[in-house]
C-alpha cells in the first residue's frame, strides 16, 4: 500500500546529538478529555498518553507553543522543566545502579540500545533450541531494517500442534523505551522458567508466545541515540530522544532527508480498522499523524500480514507512561465491545496487579487506527494496550522498568506488576473458553487450511484524500478494505488434529446477528485442494469434522458442541475471580467529609494528619494523596495496615497555603480488592 506519496529512499544518518532547544513537559488543566485533548492537538501540541481526570501532560518544544496554549485559555504548570536534563539525571542514576544487578532476569540496570536487543534475541535462540526460534516480520521498515522477535513454545518448530498464539509487542512509539524493555524481560523470564516454573511450563506447553520488542526500529534508533534534527527542519521534524513516529517521508521534499529530519507517521494511528477517524491527525507535522492511508507504513503492514497468518487469541501492545490497561474499542462512537464483560474482567485483573487503571481505550481519549482494534475486529482477539506507569517517557531504569515490571516494593503490586499482567493475559489466550476449536481426523501429513475473506472498514473519510485545511466536497464514507485471514497446520502422524482458532464470526458481525464461516480445506503439501468444508464456530465451542481428503466420500457437516472446561485453565479462572472480587460485604473505608485546619497549624507541625477508619475488614498498603484543585500531588502518606481506626501522616515541611484541597485514600482488603475514600481539606488563614 506504499506509494501514496513518492519517496526517495535514504539511509538514516546517525549524527551526534546536537545542542537543541530544551523540551519540557507541562500539565495542562482540562475539563473533559474528549473535548480538550482534540483541541490541544489542534494547536499543534504533543499531548502525551498521560491524560487524567482534570489534566493532560503536554510536551513543549518552543515558546511559541506556550503562547498558543495561553492564548487558547488553558492553564498549565511545568512538571518537567527540561526533559533533556531529566533524562541526563535518569541516565546518571542508572549508571550508579549499574554497580549491582537488578532483580530482573537479565540483571539490567540501564536501557538497551537497539544492538543489545538484536544480540540478546539471537543469544536466546542459540541457548534454547527447540524452545525459542527467531521471528522476522514479512515487511521491512521505511529504512529497510528487519523487524525481529522470537517465538517461544515447547517443541517450537512443530507445525502440527494447532496451539493458539499470544503476541506481546513493544516500541510502536520510539520514545517509549520502557515498553521494549518490558517485552524483552518477559521473554527472558519465559525462557528461564520453562521446565522449572510450573506456571510458565504449562503456558508454553499449551500455546505459542511471540514477542516483538521493537516495532518502530528506525524511530527507536533515533530516540535512543538522541539524534537531533537539523535546525532547518526543526518545525516539522520528529527527532531526538522524544521522537515518537517512524521515519516516513511525508512530502516529496523529505524524501532525500535522513530520518531525523523527516516528520514521520504515528504507527499506532495507521492500522486499517477504523483508520482516519477521531484521535488521529490529518496534518503530517502532528505527533498523532495517521499516515497517507490505512496500513500505508511498512511497519504496520508487517504486523498486519504477520497477524493474518496466525490464530492470535491474545495480544498486548506496550506503551508508557499513563499507568493504564486499555481495552477495545479505541473510540467512543462504537460503544462497548461485544465481549465487554470478559474483556473488562481480564482488564480489571491486570489493573489490580499493576496498580494501573483499567478502562475502555476511549476513556483516555479517542484513538482510531490503533493496533489491537484490528486484531479484535478481524480475529476476535482479546487485545489490550498496557500503558506502563511512571513520570516520564524515559524514567530512571529502576522506576521506569524494574518497578513497573516486578511491582513497586512496599505497595500492593510488589512481586506482581506487569510481569503478572502479561502472564494472566497469556493464560487467557490459552483458555478455550475464550476462543474456538476445530478438531477431527484427516490423513497424516495433509495440510489443513482455514481461510476467510472479508472487508475491514475505516472510519468515515474523504474519498479524495484532502489535507487538514481543506473541506471535503463529498460526503465522508468508510473505505472497505479487502482483508483476509489464512492459517495452516499439518495433520499429525496419528491422524487426529486439534486446532485452537478464533471464532469464525467477527465480534461486531456476531452482535449484528450475522454469521460467518471459516473455509476449511484439506490439501496436499504442494497445495492441491482435496476437500473443502464450511465451519461455523463461536467462542467456547468445538467444531468436529472428519475429512477423507480424497473425494471418495461425501462431506458431512461439522458437529458443533460446547468445549468442556480446560483443566489446565482452572487455576487461571480462579485467579481471575480472586483478582476481580469486590471488597467483603459491608466493608467500608471512611475519613469524614471535611478536614478544616489553619495555615499556621500546618506550618508549625510540618504535617497533615488524616483520621481514617475501616469497618468490616482489615486493609493493607493504605495510601493517601493530597492534591491541589488542579490535580497536583502535594504530599503522600501511607500505613502498612489499618484495622479499625488510624491516622495517616503526610509531610508538608513548607506548610500549606490557604485554600481547598482533596485527599484520596486507597487500601486493599485481604482478597486484594481495592477500597477507596476521599476527604475535602479546607485550610484557612
Question: What whole-number distance in Å separates Cα of residue 127 and Cα of residue 210?
Answer: 17
Instruction: Tell how many helices (H) and how many strands (E) occur in the chain.
Output: 17, 26
CB of 672 closer than 8 Å to CB of 581: yes
Q: Which three cell numbers stand for residue 396?
A: 530512571
CB of 54 closer than 8 Å to CB of 29: yes
Strands in 477-490's sheet, in edge-to-edge order, are 477-490, 447-461, 518-523, 529-535
Question: What whole-number distance in Å separates Cα of residue 512 and Cα of residue 500?
Answer: 25
* DSSP symbol at 231: G
Q: How far apart are the first and last CA of the chain?
A: 66
Cβ neighbours around 543 below 10 Å, total: 26
Alpha carbon separation from 424 to 199, 411, 431 (Å, rounded): 10, 20, 11
CB of 558 closer than 8 Å to CB of 328: no
Look-up: residue for cell 495542562? 28
* CA nearest neighbour of 516 among 382, 383, 378: 378
Bridge partner residues of 212 (DSSP): 169
DSSP run (H or E) holding 112: none
Question: What whole-number distance in Å separates Cα of residue 340 and Cα of residue 510?
Answer: 13
Question: How much is the pLDDT for 13?
Answer: 35
Which DSSP string corresponds to 257-292?
S-GGGS----GGG-SSTTTTSTTSBSSTTSTTB--S
DSSP run (H or E) holding 653: none
CB of 486 closer than 8 Å to CB of 449: yes
Question: What whole-number distance in Å separates Cα of residue 69 and Cα of residue 86?
Answer: 23
Alpha carbon separation from 485 to 305, 311, 451 (Å, rounded): 9, 9, 6
CB of 194 closer than 8 Å to CB of 202: no
CB of 152 closer than 8 Å to CB of 209: yes
Torsions phi, psi of 503, nearest 5?
-60, 145
* DSSP symbol at 418: H
Q: Which three cell numbers stand for residue 460?
A: 468515515
Q: Which three cell numbers stand for residue 651?
A: 509531610
CB of 175 closer than 8 Å to CB of 393: yes
Question: What whole-number distance in Å separates Cα of residue 153 and Cα of residue 191?
Answer: 9
CB of 338 closer than 8 Å to CB of 347: no
Look-up: residue for cell 487455576? 571
Alpha carbon separation from 579 to 349, 375, 504, 575, 601 (Å, rounded): 5, 26, 30, 6, 42
CB of 12 closer than 8 Å to CB of 260: yes
Bridge partner residues of 385 (DSSP): 317, 326
Q: Which three cell numbers stand for residue 310?
A: 496466525
Omega prior to 619 cis, within 30 of 0: no
In the chain, CATH 2.60.40.2550 sits at 588-684
Segments in the chain below pLDDT 70:
1-21, 53, 96-98, 464-470, 551, 553-555, 631
Bridge partner residues of 436 (DSSP): 501
Torsions phi, psi of 619, nearest 5?
-110, 150
Q: Where are the alpha helices (DSSP H) in 375-492?
A: 397, 403-406, 417-430
Omega prior to 74 cis, within 30 of 0: no
Look-up: residue for cell 467477527? 506
Question: Who's near 381: CB < 8 A, 6+ residues apart?
Answer: 312, 313, 314, 315, 372, 375, 502
* CA nearest neighbour of 270 among 239, 240, 243, 302: 302
Q: Which three cell numbers stand for residue 545?
A: 469434522
Quick: pLDDT tens for 97-124: 667 789 999 999 999 999 999 999 999 9
Which DSSP string corresponds to 575-636?
HHHHHT--PPTT-EEE--SEEEEEHHHHHHHSEEEEEEEEEEEEEEEEEEEEE-TTS-EEEE
CB of 683 closer than 8 Å to CB of 659: yes
Question: Who's near 63: CB < 8 A, 6+ residues apart?
Answer: none
Q: Which three cell numbers stand for residue 208?
A: 505459542
Question: What whole-number distance in Å separates Cα of residue 595 and Cα of residue 184?
Answer: 47
Distance of CA 36 to the CA centre of its chain: 23
Distance of CA 233 to the CA centre of its chain: 31
In CATH terms, the fold of domain 588-684 is Immunoglobulin-like (2.60.40)
Q: Where are the alpha helices (DSSP H) in 171-233?
A: 177-193, 198-206, 217-224
Question: Long-range contacts made by residues 634-640, C-beta under 8 angstroms, separation at least 24?
Answer: 634/661, 635/608, 637/610, 638/410
Q: Which three cell numbers stand for residue 674?
A: 481495592
* CA nearest neighbour of 203 among 430, 458, 51: 430
Question: How much is the pLDDT for 341?
Answer: 96
The helix, strand and coil proportions of the chain, stated in percent and rounded to the nearest 5, come to: 25, 30, 45
Q: Report the alpha-carbon angle 163-164-169, nearest 5.
A: 130
Bridge partner residues of 47 (DSSP): 58
In CATH terms, the fold of domain 436-570 is Immunoglobulin-like (2.60.40)
Amino acid at each position: 500500500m506504499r506509494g501514496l506519496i513518492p519517496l526517495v529512499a535514504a539511509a538514516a544518518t546517525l549524527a551526534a546529538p546536537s545542542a537543541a532547544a530544551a523540551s519540557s513537559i507541562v500539565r495542562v488543566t482540562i475539563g473533559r478529555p474528549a473535548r480538550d485533548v482534540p483541541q490541544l492537538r489542534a494547536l499543534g501540541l504533543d499531548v502525551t498518553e498521560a491524560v487524567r481526570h482534570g489534566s493532560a501532560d503536554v510536551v513543549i518544544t518552543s515558546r511559541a507553543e506556550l503562547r498558543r496554549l495561553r492564548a487558547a485559555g488553558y492553564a498549565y504548570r511545568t512538571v518537567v522543566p527540561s526533559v533533556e536534563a531529566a533524562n541526563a539525571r535518569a541516565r546518571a542514576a542508572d549508571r550508579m545502579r549499574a554497580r549491582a544487578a537488578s532483580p530482573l532476569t537479565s540483571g539490567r540496570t540501564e536501557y538497551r540500545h537497539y544492538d543489545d536487543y538484536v544480540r540478546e534475541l539471537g543469544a536466546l535462540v542459540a541457548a534454547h533450541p527447540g524452545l525459542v526460534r527467531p521471528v522476522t516480520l514479512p515487511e521491512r521498515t521505511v529504512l529497510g531494517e528487519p523487524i525481529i522477535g522470537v517465538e517461544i513454545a515447547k517443541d517450537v518448530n512443530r507445525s502440527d500442534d494447532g496451539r493458539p498464539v499470544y503476541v506481546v509487542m513493544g516500541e510502536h512509539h520510539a520514545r517509549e523505551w520502557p515498553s521494549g524493555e518490558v517485552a524483552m524481560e518477559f521473554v527472558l523470564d519465559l525462557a528461564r522458567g520453562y521446565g522449572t516454573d510450573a506456571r510458565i511450563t504449562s503456558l508454553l506447553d499449551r500455546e505459542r508466545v511471540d514477542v516483538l520488542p521493537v516495532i518502530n526500529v528506525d524511530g527507536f534508533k533515533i530516540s535512543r541515540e538522541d539524534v537531533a534534527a537539523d535546525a532547518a527542519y526543526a518545525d516539522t521534524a520528529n527527532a531526538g530522544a522524544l521522537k515518537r513516529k517512524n521515519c516516513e517521508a511525508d512530502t516529496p521534499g523529505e524524501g532525500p532527508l535522513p530520518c531525523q529530519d523527516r516528520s514521520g507517521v504515528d504507527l499506532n494511528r495507521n492500522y486499517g480498522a477504523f483508520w482516519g477517524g477521531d484521535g488521529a491527525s490529518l496534518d503530517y507535522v502532528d505527533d498523532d499523524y495517521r499516515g497517507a492511508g490505512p496500513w500505508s507504513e511498512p511497519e504496520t503492514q508487517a504486523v498486519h500480514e504477520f497477524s493474518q497468518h496466525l490464530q492470535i487469541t491474545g495480544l498486548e501492545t506496550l506503551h508508557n507512561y499513563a499507568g493504564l490497561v486499555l481495552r477495545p474499542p479505541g473510540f467512543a462512537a462504537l460503544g462497548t465491545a461485544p465481549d465487554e464483560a470478559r474483556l473488562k474482567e481480564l482488564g480489571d485483573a491486570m489493573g489490580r496487579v499493576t496498580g494501573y487503571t483499567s478502562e475502555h481505550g476511549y476513556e483516555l481519549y479517542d484513538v482510531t487506527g490503533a493496533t489491537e482494534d484490528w486484531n479484535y475486529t478481524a480475529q476476535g482477539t482479546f487485545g489490550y494496550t498496557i500503558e506502563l506507569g511512571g513520570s516520564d517517557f524515559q524514567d530512571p531504569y529502576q522506576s521506569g522498568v524494574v518497578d513497573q515490571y516486578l511491582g513497586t516494593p512496599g505497595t500492593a503490586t510488589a512481586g506482581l506488576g506487569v510481569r503478572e499482567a502479561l502472564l494472566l493475559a497469556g493464560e487467557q489466550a490459552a483458555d478455550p473458553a475464550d476462543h474456538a476449536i476445530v478438531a477431527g481426523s484427516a490423513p497424516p501429513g495433509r495440510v489443513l487450511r482455514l481461510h476467510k475473506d472479508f472487508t475491514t472498514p475505516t472510519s468515515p473519510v474523504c474519498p479524495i484524500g484532502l489535507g487538514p485545511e481543506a473541506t471535503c466536497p463529498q460526503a465522508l464514507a468508510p473505505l472497505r478494505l479487502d482483508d483476509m485471514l489464512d492459517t495452516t497446520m499439518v495433520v499429525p502422524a496419528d491422524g487426529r488434529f486439534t486446532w485452537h482458532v478464533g471464532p469464525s464470526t467477527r465480534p461486531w458481525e456476531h452482535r449484528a446477528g450475522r454469521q460467518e464461516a471459516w473455509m476449511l480445506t484439506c490439501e496436499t503439501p504442494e497445495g492441491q485442494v482435496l476437500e473443502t468444508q464450511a465451519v461455523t464456530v463461536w467462542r467456547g465451542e468445538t467444531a468436529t469434522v472428519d475429512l477423507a481428503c480424497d473425494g471418495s466420500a461425501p462431506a458431512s457437516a461439522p458437529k458443533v458442541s460446547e468445549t468442556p472446561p480446560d483443566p489446565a485453565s482452572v487455576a487461571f479462572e480462579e485467579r481471575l475471580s480472586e483478582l476481580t472480587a469486590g471488597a467483603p460485604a459491608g466493608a467500608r473505608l471512611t475519613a469524614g467529609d471535611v478536614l478544616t485546619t489553619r495555615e499556621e497549624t500546618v506550618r508549625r507541625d510540618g504535617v497533615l494528619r488524616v483520621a481514617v477508619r475501616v469497618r468490616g475488614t482489615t486493609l493493607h498498603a493504605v495510601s493517601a494523596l493530597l492534591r491541589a484543585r488542579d490535580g497536583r500531588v502535594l504530599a503522600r502518606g501511607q500505613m502498612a495496615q489499618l484495622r479499625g481506626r488510624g491516622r495517616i501522616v503526610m509531610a508538608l515541611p513548607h506548610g500549606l497555603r490557604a485554600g481547598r484541597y482533596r485527599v484520596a485514600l486507597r487500601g486493599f482488603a485481604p482478597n486484594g480488592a481495592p477500597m477507596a475514600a476521599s476527604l475535602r481539606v479546607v485550610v484557612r488563614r
